[in-house]
Structure 1
Amino acid sequence: MTLTSENAGAAAPFAPPEAGTVVVYRGLTLFDGTGSAPRPGMSIVVDGSVIHAVVPDADVPGVLAALTAGAGRPADTEADGAGRPADTEADDAAAVEVVDLAGHFVTPGLVDAHQHLATPPDRPIAEAVLRRLVHSGVTAVRDMADDLRQVGDLARAARVGEIPAPDIHYAALMAGPGFFDDPRTHQVTQGAVPGEVPWMQAVTDTTDLPLAVALARGTHATAIKVYADLDADLVAAITAEAHRQGILVWAHAAVFPATPGEVVAAGVDAVSHVTLLAHEAATGPLTTYKDKPPVDHASLVTGRDERLEALFARMREQDVVLDATAGMWASAELAGDTPETSERAARNTDLAIALTAQAHRAGVQLATGTDYETAPGEPFPALYEELAFLVRHCGLPAADVLRSATLVGARSAGKDHLTGTLEPGKQADFAVFAQDPLADIDHLRTITLTVKRGHRFPRTAYTADRPQENR
């Protein structure tokens, strides 16, 4: 028996194209995510999985001449607005393909900054969610701590192109020992002991933090998620050690007993759940995750509470990203079916609206996370609902929401040097819409094409085997 094999392994039909495969997407209106105003009559020149140039249509011949000089590549073939080659010769692999997107609106790929793909693990469901996401313009997600045995394999399969899926950036969780009787921790550690596995560790002031962080990094996690039942000193110590070892820290906005202000002071990179920030104005001391004190709801829903204003100022100064999950409590999945649960959801929704708007006014970077998914039969993901909630209920301008869903989302995952804007040298990650989402955020539902790392995912490929959605 040898340790190597010449077997090619699993098929990778969704893999990024090789360098030297040149595609020009022309005639589009471009929202590049950099803060520039949308520009009509633009072209994106993609070489393999990377953006080579973003130029006015008239400049494309010069770009191609320089790119193909000495390569012997013939000039163009055509493709229609859904991303299908119109007249490409099958044996002409070196051709520069042109995709006509006249009348279409293009944004960087969308990012869902708060997903859970394996609590509990269910591979068919996870793959169905990922397939819907990537055919809806989503090119990356943050998985916020799950069974990383499954999530790691999903991330690998997505990256190499075995499955249609966004890129997956995930966290390993750390919390105090008291948290690990939560049923979810048992779901994600089946066959092992909750709190004693590298992706879900119980931490105390006697924990060997360099070893704990190294174990978390060994899962290939992008970040450590600081969750619950940790005091301020431990949150700060975990954060310092994680950063020393080159890994991000994503935290619940209140960790109990650590307050939101203490979590931010610890130097974390991102915090989740805007409603948890309300505990900066709690009416009693924070103790444990299971015993949350009341908050000063009447003051907070004004959107002018000075305690939150000071917190948001610190977040802005430290570039802490807020994964708001603002619309979560208004979703059908969390609205509740009893008077008590409905009232709780309504109060949390009011808080989310007020605090998200206040954070935006204060200049805090907002990422667009969901923490739930729409039902399996729905044609579009929860991320569309979150973006609409931010525009319609929180009053954010659509341009700011699209920036949150692209550049800030990439930044929340520590990947904004690779993706999140449409610029030369970045990954070819973008979404194509038949109508302008800046004019109406519901125009997200006119998605025609996703390009992820240069590979095309036409929306028609998703709807073709789901005829009920076309009725």
Structure 2
Amino acid sequence: MKSCLLLLALMLGFGHHSRGQLLLKNATIIDGDAGVKPRIGSVLIREGIIEKMIYDGVLPSDKLTVIDCTGQFITPGLMDAHVHLATVNMGDQKGAHMKTDSILQNMIRHGITSVRDMAGDAIFLAEYKRKIATDQLIGPDIFYAAQFAGPGYFAEMKGSSRADKDLGTTPWYRAITPETDLKLAVAEAKGAGASGIKVYADLTKKQIAAITREAHAQGIQVWSHGTVFPAKPADGIAAGVNSLSHAADLCFQQMKGDTLGFHEAWQQLYKKGFTLDTVVQVKLLQGMQQAGIFLDPTIFHASNNKMWNALTITRLAHRIGVKIVTGTDWIYPEKNEAVPLQDEMELLVSKCGFSPAEAIQSATMNSATVTGLHDRGLVRAGKCADLLITNENPYTNLATLFTPAIVIKRGKCVNSL
């Protein structure tokens, strides 16, 4: 109750639409990098940016708003690095907006200040990105992908319940053939606001390598499925993609042959008696670690689908030193309900050998870096002031991150439970 009343007073006095100057005083600072020990200090924020960290020194005396955080903790805002906000029914725009508005508000309420959307309608996503950036709407900052896949994949999708007429023909849903002008395709994806290319399905290892080269040449990321049938996981690593999604997909590396048939491979994976070859996995994960490729394991999603090998692979990846990010690829609630990112982080700790500090790094610094962002994910001078103030120590109670006393978005106190 005390924190809610404080937040209300701050929003009324500080100005909901003003970023101004804010001092967060005497908190225990959790940096976001698991290798940095928490310290008691203060955070000076000006115009939405952390101007200064004050650990040993005189606090500024000029006119600014002060929040006394004695006994509280400050962490970076959280990031879900694998969501899908724009794959709802785009034919019902009013319904889609109502649903998305509620989801985004619930994300902020639970401490999520940024998301990486892994393929959806770019027109819809760009509208939300702009509204959030210009303070017309409170929500996490949105960074999204353009989906590149082979024509066979899009033909199959058109025959399914999601029968968008433009699948495969837009800058954000692009069918790639040997004749595709990749320079133009990537440029058009960038023009649609995409921060990265999602390499999805029905592509050869040669095509994955060509897409990756062109995307990197144009300054955007490449986020690949763990397995891009018929290509295998090692092909994405050889291409130098920025991340692989779905730890369970890495199981397919041990299957015989240089290429994979989609249906046959999945049947083999779920066949009774399938045994994970950890020797193959270690070699694959060592390649990821050496290439600096992030793993987006989506272990909550995998667990819900009884793909238990994902937990083993993530545990091995962590031990080998592969950088892990927190993506859920799961449905977000519209009401004030618990969010799947909490489940993802708790599984990292309970099943995959992570310390709470390492799970927090995965959801902050790592998830920002894999998205190509260097302005957030850490509580340091020069970073965006997307911060959480919690009443309990997240290192001893990870769940406190999802019931923050105050959420600060670009220097503004925006929400409370």
Structure 1 segment 63-78 matched on structure 2, within 5 A = 64=60, 75=62
Q: Describe the SS at the equivalent of 1:254.
A: coil
CA contact (8 A) 2:232 2:260 kept: no
CA contact (8 A) 1:32 1:108 kept: yes
Asked if the contact 1:179–1:289 (Cα under 8 Å) also holds between the matched residues in 2, the reply is no
Q: Look up the match of 1:308.
A: 281
Alignment-derived partner of residue 70 in structure 2: 102
The reply on whether 1:113 has 2:81 as its aligned counterpart is yes
What does residue 254 of structure 1 align with? 227
Deviations 1:288-347 (A, max 9, x none): 4455352497542xxx711111111111111111111111133xxxx4xxxxxxxxx22x
Match of 2:143 among 156, 169, 190: 169
Looking at CA atoms only, which structure, 1 or 2, has the larger radius of gyration?
Answer: 1
CA contact (8 A) 1:14 1:164 kept: no
- Of 150, 153, 160, 2:127 maps to 153
TM-score computed with the length of structure 1 as normaliser: 0.79
1:331-410 matched pairs, under 5 angstroms: 335=304, 345-346=305-306, 348=307, 350-410=308-368
2-side partners of 1:160 and 1:452: how far apart?
12
Quick one: structure 1 residues 257 and 424, their matched pair in 2 at CA, closer, same or farther if it must change by over 3 Å?
Answer: same
**Counterpart of 1:364 in structure 2: which amino acid?**
V
Structure-2 change in CA distance of 1:241 and 1:398 (3 Å): same
Per-residue deviation, 1:209:
1.0
**Which secondary structure state, in structure 2, belongs to the residue aligned with residue 257 of structure 1?**
coil
Q: Any stretches of 5+ residues in structure 1 without a counterpart?
A: 1-12, 66-74, 76-94, 336-344, 461-471
Alignment CA distance shift 1:229-1:323 (3 Å): same
For the aligned residue pairs, the C-alpha RMSD in angstroms reads 2.2
Q: CA offsets, 1:29-50, max 9 Å, x none?
A: 1110134444343100001110
Deviations 1:414-443 (A, max 9, x none): 10x211111111111111111112112223
Q: TM-score, normalised by structure 2?
A: 0.89
Counterparts in 2 of 1:202 and 1:107: CA distance versus 1, 3 Å: same
1:411 partnered with 2:410: no
**2:34–2:360 Cα contact (<8 Å) kept:** no
- Could you tell me which amino acid in structure 2 is paired with residue 117 of structure 1? L
In structure 2, distance between residues paired with 1:311 and 1:230: 20
Q: Please list, as runs of the form range in 1=range in 2, the aligned pairs for 1:23-422 lying within 5 A after superposition.
A: 23-56=22-55, 59-61=57-59, 64=60, 75=62, 95-120=63-88, 121=90, 122-183=96-157, 190=164, 192-283=165-256, 286-293=259-266, 294-295=268-269, 298-300=274-276, 305-330=278-303, 335=304, 345-346=305-306, 348=307, 350-415=308-373, 417-422=374-379
Alpha-carbon distance change, 149 to 31 in structure 1, aligned in 2, over 3 angstroms: same
Is contact 1:22-1:45 (8 Å) kept? yes
Identity of aligned residues (%): 33
1:449 and 1:288, CA in 2 relative to 1: closer, same or farther beyond 3 A?
Answer: farther
Structure 1 stretches (4+) deviating beyond 6 angstroms?
A: 184-189
Q: Kindly tell me the number of residue pairs found equivalent between the two proteins.
A: 394
**CA offset at residue 277 of structure 1?**
1.0
Contact 1:16-1:161 within 8 A present in 2 as well? no
Q: Which has the higher contact order (CA 8 A, sep 6+)?
A: 2
2:389 to 413, 432, 438: 432
Amino acid at match of 2:71: G
Q: CA deviation at 1:368?
A: 0.2
Secondary structure, in 3 states, of the residue corresponding to 1:142? strand
